[in-house]
Amino acid sequence: MRTVSRPIALACLLATMGCPEPDGELVNDEPTFAEQITESALMDHLTSLQAIADANDGNRMFLSGGYLDSVDYIVQQLEDAGLEPVVETFDMEEYTLNTAEVQVNGEPPAGLEDINFSVFELSGQGTVTAPLSAVSVTIPPSGGANSTDSGCESADFDGFPAGNIALIQRGTCTFVQKVDNAVAAGASAVVIFNEGQQGRRDVVEGQLDGGIASIPVIGVSYGTGRAMVEAANLQLTIAIDATISVTTDRNIIVDLPGGDPARTVLVGAHLDGVEAGPGINDNGSGSAFLLELAIQMQDQGIDPTNHVRLAWWGAEEEGLIGSSRYFYDDNGEPNDANLSTLDAYLNFDMLASGNGVRMVYDGDGSDFDDGVDSDGSALIEEMFEAYFDEQGLATRPEALLISSDSYWPALLGIPTGGLFSGAFQPKTDSEEDDFGGDEGTAHDPCYHQACDTIGNTNPVLYEELAQAGASVIVDLAMREEAFPSGNTRRSTRDLPKPRGCHDHTVWDR
CB 293 within 8 A of CB 310: yes
CB of 458 vs Zn ion, minimal distance in Å: 16
- DSSP codes joined into one string, 52-101: HHHTTTT--BTTSHHHHHHHHHHHHHHHHTT---EEEEEEEEEEEEEEEE
Does the N-terminal peptide bond of residue 261 adopt cis geometry, omega within 30 degrees of 0? no
Nearest distance from residue 417's CB to Zn ion, in Å?
Answer: 16
Is 84 exposed, middle or buried, given 0-12, 13-18 or 19+ CB atoms closer than 10 A?
Answer: exposed
Nearest CB to Zn ion, comparing residues 279 and 363: 279
* Binding window for Zn ion (CB under 5 A); candidates: 65-73, 321-329, 331-339, 347-355: 347-355
Smallest distance, Zn ion to C-beta of residue 456, A: 14
- Among positions 380-399, residues that touch Zn ion (CB under 5 A) are none
Could you give the dihedral angle defined by the CA atoms of residues 277, 279, 282 and 286, in that order, rounded to the nearest 10 degrees? 180
Instruction: Judge whether 115 and 143 are in contact, CB under 8 Å.
Output: no
Site map for Zn ion, 232-271, x if CB under 5 A? ----------------------------------------
* Selected catalytic residue, list 316, 381, 385, 463: 316
CB of 430 to Zn ion, least distance (A): 25
Is residue 394 classed exposed, middle or buried when 0-12, 13-18 and 19+ CB atoms within 10 A define those classes? middle
Question: Residue 275 — φ and ψ, nearest 5°?
Answer: -70, -30
Residue nearer to Zn ion on the CB measure, 48 or 283: 283
**32 interacts with Zn ion by CB under 5 A:** no
CA distance 41 to 290: 12
Q: How far is the CB of 69 from Zn ion (least distance, A)?
A: 19
- Residues 63-102: x/- map of binding to Zn ion (CB under 5 A)? ----------------------------------------
Shortest Cβ 181–Zn ion spacing (Å): 32
- Number of chain residues interacting with Zn ion (CB under 5 A): 3
Compare residues 316 and 385 and give the one whose CB is closer to Zn ion: 316
Distance CA 69, CA 60 (A): 8
Contacts (CB under 5 A) with Zn ion, residues 269-298: 282-283
Nearer to Zn ion, 328 or 424 (CB): 424
Q: Which stretch binds Zn ion (CB under 5 A): 305-313, 341-349, 364-372, 427-435?
A: 341-349
Nearest to 64 by CA among 74, 52, 76: 52
For Zn ion, give the closer residue by CB, 249 or 282: 282
Round to whole Å and give the CA distance between 164 and 157: 11
Query: Does 362 engage in binding with Zn ion (CB under 5 A)?
Result: no
Cβ closer to Zn ion: 318 or 349?
A: 349
- Smallest gap, in angstroms, from Cβ of residue 317 to Zn ion? 7
135-145 CB burial, b ≥16 within 10 A, e <16? bbbeeebeeeb
* AA identity, residue 48: S
Nearer to Zn ion, 152 or 410 (CB): 410
Strands 359-361, 416-420: pairing kind: antiparallel
Instruction: Give Cα separations from 109 to 52, 104, 166, 235 (angstroms).
Output: 55, 9, 19, 11
Please compute, for residue 393, the number of CA atoms within 13 A of its CA located in the half-sphere on the CB side: 18
State phi, psi for 135 to the nearest 5 degrees. -115, 100
CB of 422 to Zn ion, least distance (A): 11
Among 292, 349, 431, 452, contact with Zn ion (rule: CB under 5 A): 349
Beta bridge partners of 244: 95
The verdict on whether 439 is a catalytic residue reads: no
- Residue with Cβ nearer Zn ion (251 or 283): 283
Contact segment (CB under 5 A) with Zn ion among 3-11, 101-109, 149-157, 343-351 equals: 343-351
- Residues near Zn ion, by CB under 5 A: 282-283, 349
- Active site amino acids: 316
